[in-house]
Structure 1
Amino acid sequence: MPVQKLKSYLDANGVKYVTISHSPAFTAQEVAASAHVPGREMAKTVMIKVDGKMAMAVLPATFKVDLEMLRQALGAQNVELATEEEFKDLFPDCELGAMPPFGNLYGMDVFMAATLAEDEEIVFNAGTHTELIRMAFPDYVRLVKPVELQFSLVTA
């Protein structure tokens, strides 16, 4: 079960969390609705390449990544969305598109939208299209050590 690696990591680090099961959903907004979580509180993981290196951008489900804003914030030459073909093998324990925002477990940087820091908790995919994890935001920051930046815009 994909979620077990993540749960084991959280347990080993003394993190309290809640697992939320929901009917199958695939977009961050669908997942939030299915699990009765406001879209602005649901964190989605977007796979990007920063100067050719794979990384995660983590932002609220109701926002979208502004690649130019992210490129400027990072001082990078190029920032682009990664294709599923490019990252599918990096997450052998996860369903495609349901990766948790724990790049540290997969050897990659995590860039987090500053707007996520406004909430006391974070809710995210737990590696499947039917399970979420809700945990305290400070615990997420302590474990993942994401780089907090301004790079997202509210979707209409």
Structure 2
Amino acid sequence: MSKTTRATQALQQTGVSFTVHAYDYDPNAERIGLQAAEALGADPSSVLKTLMVTVDGKPACAVVPSDREVNLKKLAAALGGKTAQMMKPADAERMTGYHVGGISPFGQKKRVPTLIEETALAHESVFINGGQRGLQVRLAPQDAARALDAKAVALV
């Protein structure tokens, strides 16, 4: 497995300090983020999942704790929209250039508005997908938000 991806390269370009962590990805896991947390021995609330959504038909990205579900009404409101829905997997892959299970908010093919769950900022460090299945980056959540130009809001 390569530890250099578009996501890690994007983080390096921002000058953000991070570490790379590989784990055994289980494609049959019911909830990929929770499986990653278990494999990494991390608190599930500190392992953030990347969700690709559309708000009033426009693409956006939400980064939320793996043990929580995003509230689509809160997400839509945070971006000034009326409705939000999960992006179809094929659309998410085309938009980001990553495969489902390995979608990172960093280094996506097209930059989209990004939101991060505000409670994630309380952690000293968080894990976020590093751009491929079985690869996570660990960094300070404030650095992640800054690198993504993400707005921290209540999403769960």
1:56-75 mapped onto 2 (5 Å cutoff):
56-75=61-80
The Cα shift of 1:4 comes to 2.2
Indicate whether 1:80 and 2:85 are aligned: yes
1:10-37 Cα deviation digits (max 9, x unpaired) = 2222222111111113510011111111
Distance 1:7 1:85 in 2: 23
Q: 1:11 to 1:74 in 2, by over 3 A?
A: closer
Which residue of 2 is the match for residue 149 of structure 1? 153
Q: Unpaired segments of 5 or more residues in structure 1?
A: none
Give, in whole Å, the separation in 2 of the partners of 1:150 and 1:58: 11
Helix, strand or coil at the partner of 1:108: coil
Counting aligned pairs with the same residue, the percent is 22
Q: Tell me which residue corresponds to 2:47.
A: 42
Residue 19 (structure 1) aligns with: 20
1:131 positional shift: 1.0
Matched position secondary structure for 2:42: coil
Q: Compute the displacement of 1:103 (Å).
A: 6.9
Q: Which residue of 1 aligns with 2:126?
A: 122
Which amino acid is 2:68 matched to?
F
Give 1 or 2: higher strand fraction.
Answer: 1
Alpha-carbon separation, structure 2, partners of 1:116 and 1:105 = 25
How many correspondences in the alignment? 151
> 1:48, 1:80 within 8 Å by CA — same for their partners in 2?
yes
**Counterpart secondary structure, 1:16:** coil
Q: Secondary structure at 1:106's aligned position in 2?
A: coil
Distance 2:148 2:78 in 1: 19
Match of 2:100 in 1: 96
Q: Secondary structure of 1:19's partner?
A: strand
- Give the TM-score normalised by the residue count of structure 1: 0.86
Asked if structure 1 preserves the Cα contact closer than 8 Å seen for 2:65 and 2:120, the reply is yes
Distance 1:68 1:142, change over 3 A: closer
CA RMSD across the alignment: 1.9
TM-score by length of 2: 0.86
Give the drift of 1:135. Answer: 1.1
